[in-house]
Amino acid sequence: MSEPRNILGLGEKVALVLLGMSALLNMYSTQPILEDVARWADTDIRGATWTVSATTIGVALTAPWAGMISDRWGRRRVILAALLCMAALSLGGLLAWNLPMLLTLRAAQGMCCPFIFAVVVAYVGEEYAAPVAARLNALYVAGTALGGFLGRMVAAVIVEATGQWRLSFLGNAVLIAVAWAVARGFLPQERRFGGNRRQPVDADGETTALYRNPRLLATILLGATLLFQQVASFTFASLTLTQPPFSLSTGAVGLIFVIFLVPMISTPLSGRLMQRWGNLRVFVLSQTVSAAGMAISLIPTLPAMTVGLMLSCVGVFAGQAVGTAMAGRLAPHARSTAVGWYLSGYYLGGALGAVAPVGLYLAHGWNAVAVLLVLVVGWGLALGTWAWRGQGVRG
C-alpha cells in the first residue's frame, strides 16, 4: 500500500472546501423562502416547512449506509456521483409541478448528502498523513459552515432580486456543478483504498449489541434534540423576522444566516475545552449557551434576536461535536455504525424541528417556540448527564 500523502496543493484545498459547501448547500435552503413556497403551493406555513424536513429525513435514511456503499465502490467515485445527483436534483426543483413533487425532490437531495459528508471524512483519513488530514478536515468543516450560509443566502438574494423562488434551485445547481468540476480535476485518485466487501452485519453480533446499549440510545436521542433546536430556531425566527415589529425583507432575513459562519471559530475552541474539561462539562456549557440564546431572543429587538440565534447556533455546533465523539466512544468495536445511527437520530430531530412547533408558532408566536426550545435543551441535558456521567473521557 502507498504511503499517505504529505503535500497539499491549492486545488485539493479548494476541492475540500467546495465539498463541504455542497454537503449542506441544499439542506436548509428553503428556510428563508417558506412564505414564497407556501403561496406557490397554495398551502400554509405548516405545509411549506416540510420542504425543510424532507431533506433531513432523506439524510437520516442514508446516513448509516453511505460508508458501507463507499467501501464497495470507492470513495472518490461515490463522492463525484453524489455531486452529480445533487446538481441534477437541484435542477429538478425548477420543474416541480406541485408540493408533493417538490418534497420528493428535497428528500432525494437529502439522501445524497451523506455520500459526501461521511465519505469525504473517510477519504481524507485514508489518503493523507495525520497532520495533513487534520488541515483538510478543518477546511472541510469550514466549507460546511459556508454551505449552510450560502444555501440560505443564495435563496434569499435570488428571491429578493427576481421574485422567483425556483431560481434559487438553479443557483444551487450551478454551485454544486462547480464543486463537481473542481473535485474531479483536483481530488486525487485513491492510492490507499483497499475496499471492503464484508457482510454488513458482523458475525459476533456487535452491531446488534449497539441497540441494546442504553447509553448509546440516550446519546442518539440527545443528538435529535440538538438539530431540533437548530432547525426550529432558524425556521421560525425567519418567519418572525418578516412580521412586525421587524418587517424585514427576504434578502435582509438572508443576511441573518451570516451567523452560521461564527461556529467556524467557536467549534474548534470547544474541541480544546473537551481535552481540558471533559466531554460532559463542555456539553453542559454548550447547552447553557443555547438556552441563554433563546432567553435573549425573547427581547423583541433585532439585535437581541440576532445575538440569541448566534448563541443558540454556537451551542448546537459545540454540542454536536461532543455528541459525535461520545457516540463513537460508547461503541468502540462498531464506531462507524454507532456514529451513523447517531447522525440518523440527529437529522430526524431536525426533521421534527421544522414541523412540530408549527401549531405552537401559529397560535402563540415566536415566544412560545423559544420556550419550547429551552425545554428541549433541558431534555438534552438530562439525557447527556445520565448517559455520560462516570465515563471518564476527555476529548
Task: Please give the single-letter amino acid code of residue 177.
Answer: A
Helix 167-186 vs helix 10-25: angle between axes, to the nearest 10 degrees?
150
Report whether 300 contacts 390 (CB < 8 A): no
Please list the residues that pair with 5 across neighbouring strands.
128
What is d(CA 133, CA 210) in angstroms, rounded to the nearest whole number?
A: 29
Domains and CATH numbers, the chain: 1-187 (1.20.1250.20), 209-395 (1.20.1250.20)
pLDDT one-digit tens code per residue, 34-92: 999 999 999 999 999 999 999 999 999 998 888 778 878 888 999 999 999 999 999 99
Residue whose C-alpha cell reads 459476533 in the numeric block: 204
pLDDT at residue 192, rounded to an integer: 73
Task: Judge whether 75 and 123 are in contact, CB under 8 Å.
Answer: yes
Cell numbers describing residue 61: 435514511
pLDDT by residue (tens digit) across 153-187? 999 999 999 999 999 999 999 999 999 999 999 99
Q: Which residues, 6+ apart, have CB-to-CB distance to 43 below 8 Å? A: 99
pLDDT(333) > 70: no
What is the C-alpha to C-alpha distance for residues 366 and 350, in angstroms, rounded to an integer? Answer: 18
